[in-house]
Each structure stands twice: as structure tokens, then as C-alpha cells.
Amino acid sequence: MTEAASLYSDVDEQELQRNAEASLLHYGTSFYPEMIVRASGQTITTSSGHQMLDWTSGQMSCLIGHGNQEIVETIRKHAASLDHLFSGMLSPPVVSLAARLASLTPPGLDKALLLSTGGEANEAAIRLAKFFTGNFEIVGLASSWHGMTGASIGAQYHAGRAGYGPNTVGNLVLPTPNAYRSIFRHADGSHDWRTELDYGWDLLDRQSCGSLAAVIMEPILSSGGMLVPPPGYLKAMREHCDKRDMLLIIDEAQTGIGRAGDMFAFQHFAEDEGVVPDILTLSKTLGNGLPLSAVVTSDRIAAFAKKEGFLFYTTHVNDPLPAAVGDKVLEVIVRDNLVERSRTLGEKLQQGLLRLQSRYGCIGDVRGRGLMAGVEIVSDRGTKTGAPQLGKAIGDKMTELGVWAQLSTMASFGGVFRIAPPLTTTDDEMEKGLAIIEEAFASTPGTMLLGAGHDGSI
């Protein structure tokens, strides 16, 4: 047995659980009932030996798999020779990562600031937008998730606003473009997203005190339920921002670096061609599970920030070790053509999930792009009534059978599975995972196996 495999092979599960109960503060989620003692490739193993395909890539982060040997070697080398420095010092991996990012982003995303988490990157992006524009009002989408720090959670509407006192002043909200549930409809029943967006801006203009600084949005709203804005939405949002002299911040914590089938998800639709955010934030996927994030912006904004003394000085800004990991992640993604791999394997994932939808009436909607999918569980397709308890039962069965696919433990997620396997997933692993998911639906009461012509209503 290798050192990695045996590291926690002899843990005392009961003692660890007692110590966990005695010493850990809960932070908004129920803990998985068993200790995880190993993660390798896309397989995670519990203390009892139970193995699961990790179809959330950790916290949507391990883009190229757990324990990737090139990442392990990069960490080993830099931990031994170049780990952490005074924040004003530069090092080769920091410069290399910034340059590699600039080579992959379109013109207008030219300079990078390296930080630790997605929330921190969004905090810096919002702070930079306020500093550059001289305004303070920040606009978010109603199902957004941007982090747990002051300004980032102020622009977040999915969860986390109530019970903590006043949020940051100057936060305004637009409706989420949820094609499955929106009340804005054309006569044929299709989503009238443009009227929805224009109506939202009309209300927002009435609320604003005249100090609009930026919109911050995800190109796919992951925590909101894997909601994909329609083709042309980003362009329309850009036009609204330009009309009001606002910046556009795009948060690609989960969608960036190939996850959604493009290097960056904002580049996907032909209808949005030419749209480049003023500020792009990256995290999760950039560090393959290590704490690493980036704020990328234009030469124009960067020059202003330098001249006027923009301040975002932290202990771990531009740290060498995580920067080296991020640089290696980008190298592997490009070298191994994993963006295209995400796109093609994602088509198989979508096809498999759509097949399930055709067989089980509890699946109200399947959505997503690349290796980033959402499956919404309902009790009635006609009314679209959510069924989070059924979703939990299906999720528990998936876990038992060997696939970990997140149905959030927070009720606000509304019974939507978020599925995000690593980009290094093999065809065999994809087929195995889909087969396990189908077995979970087949063996869970209430999933409504469909007969010919059945529409899923009960």
C-alpha cells in the first residue's frame, strides 16, 4: 500500500466524530456522516472503505482530479523551495501565471491580481470598481452567490443576507434569467428574458441614488441552480452597463478554465461575441482545490489603480506556491486540450441526463453546459412544484451506490443537483456514473417512472 493510500487507513472513526462534535463550529451545511480518508483521481473513499465518484470535484474545484501527480509534484517542489514571501516581493511562478492568464484572456483582460478565495477576489473586484468609477452602487442577480465577505455577500442574493445586521450600503438586484421558472413569457410560452431584464433595469433606475458602479454576475449561476442565461443576455447586460457608465464584473469561480466547455464561459454564445468584462474573477478551478483566485482587468483600469493608489494588500497576495499550482493547471488544460474534452464529454453527460428525464417524471429540467450540469427535481412537471425531500432521497441513494453529486444541504437550492465531474473523467467513468445515477432513480420511491406518453404529472 502506498504512503498516500495508507495515510489515514487506521483512523478511529468514533473518536474523530466525538472530537468533531466537540471542537468544530458549524457553518451552514450538515457534515457528511463518515470521515473522508482518501481522494484520488475522481474517487473519494470513506473511513469504512466506501468509494464514490466525486461528481462535484470537491467544492467544484478539483478540475483535473484529486491527487493529480503533476500538481502534487508542483506543490512538493515549491513547498521545499519557494512557498510564501513578503507581499511586496515577486517570484517567477507569480509572473508566469499572470502572463499565462493574459495569453488566454481576450484583449481588455490584461493584468492580474492573485489572491486566495473567490469571495476575496469578488471583494477586490467590487472595491476596484468603486475606486475606478467613484460610485458605490453594486448590482447583482437574484440567485447569485459571490462569497462570504462584506462586499461580496452584499451583492449576493441566493442566501446569507438575513440575520447578520445591515449589509453593505448600495446593493441593488435584478431578476435571475431562469428560463424554467420565470413568469416573463412570450405568447408561445418561451422565456421573454429581454423584457424581464429591461423591466428589472427600469425598477433599478428608480431605486438608484445616482451612484451606479458595476454589475457583478456569473455566466452560469451555479449555486442558484445551474441556471444558464440565454444567448444574447451578456450583450444586453453590457449595453445596459455602458448606457449608465458602469463596469461589468463576471464571476467565473466555477465556470472558468474549461469547466463549462469554453476557456471562459462568457465566450460561449455567438450572440454575445465581443463582450469582454471590465473585471473577471477566477478561483476554485484555477487552483485545482488549493486556495487561489485571480482578479483580471484591463490595462486602463490597472493604470488608474496604480496611479491613484488602489489598496488591496493581504498576507497571501501573489503567493508563490499556489501561483505555481495555478500555472501548472493552465499548462495542463491547454496541453491536454481539456476545454474541448469538457465540451464533448459534457454532451454525453447532457444526453445521459436527458435520457433520465424522459424516463422519470420527477426530473423537471436538465440544464448546464460542458461538465457542469443541473437536474431539477419536482413533484409535478405541470406545476413545477419543487421536491427537495425526494431530491435528498435520490441523492442519498446515489451516495450509497457510489456517486457523490451535490444536492445542496441548504433548502434555498430547491432540490437541484449540481453535477461537475473533473475534466479528466474517462468515457468509462462517465458511463459508470450515469448508470449509478439511473439506478438511484430506479430504486427510490416517488421518482415516477414514465410510461409512453406520460408527462410526469401526479
Q: Give domain limits for the chain.
A: 71-335, 338-385+402-447
Instruction: Specify the CATH number of the domain 71-335.
Output: 3.40.640.10
The per-residue pLDDT for range 295-333, each reduced to its tens digit, is: 999 999 999 999 999 999 999 999 999 999 999 999 999
C-alpha cell at 185: 413569457
Cβ(373)–Cβ(385) under 8 Å? Answer: no
Catalytic residues: 145, 218, 251, 254, 284, 418
The per-residue pLDDT for range 190-235, each reduced to its tens digit, is: 999 999 999 999 999 999 999 999 999 999 999 999 999 999 999 9
Cβ(252)–Cβ(146) under 8 Å? Answer: no
Q: Report whether pLDDT(458) > 90.
A: no
- pLDDT score of 422: 98
On average, the pLDDT of the chain sits at 95
Which option is the CATH number for 338-385+402-447: 3.30.390.30, 3.50.50.60, 3.90.1150.10, 3.40.462.10?
Answer: 3.90.1150.10
Q: Report whether pLDDT(1) > 50.
A: no
CA–CA gap between residue 423 and residue 435 (Å, rounded): 19
Structure-model confidence comparison of residues 27 and 436, the more confident one = 436
Q: Phi, psi (5° rounding) for residue 378?
A: -130, 160
- pLDDT score of 455: 52
Nearest to 304 by CA among 95, 98, 151, 133: 133
Q: Report whether pLDDT(406) > 90.
A: no
Instruction: Decide if 71-335 and 338-385+402-447 have a common fold.
Output: no
DSSP 237-288: HHHHHHHTT-EEEEE-TTTTTTTTSSSSGGG--GGGTT---SEEEE-GGGTT
DSSP 306-349: HHHT-----TTTT-HHHHHHHHHHHHHHHHTTHHHHHHHHHHHH
Q: Report whether pLDDT(446) > 50.
A: yes
Site of grid cell 437541484: 416
Q: Report whether pLDDT(414) > 80.
A: no
The per-residue pLDDT for range 250-275, each reduced to its tens digit, is: 999 999 999 999 999 999 999 999 99
Q: Phi, psi (5° rounding) for residue 45?
A: -125, 135
Distances (CA, A) of 144 to 134, 176, 217, 341, 383: 24, 8, 7, 28, 24
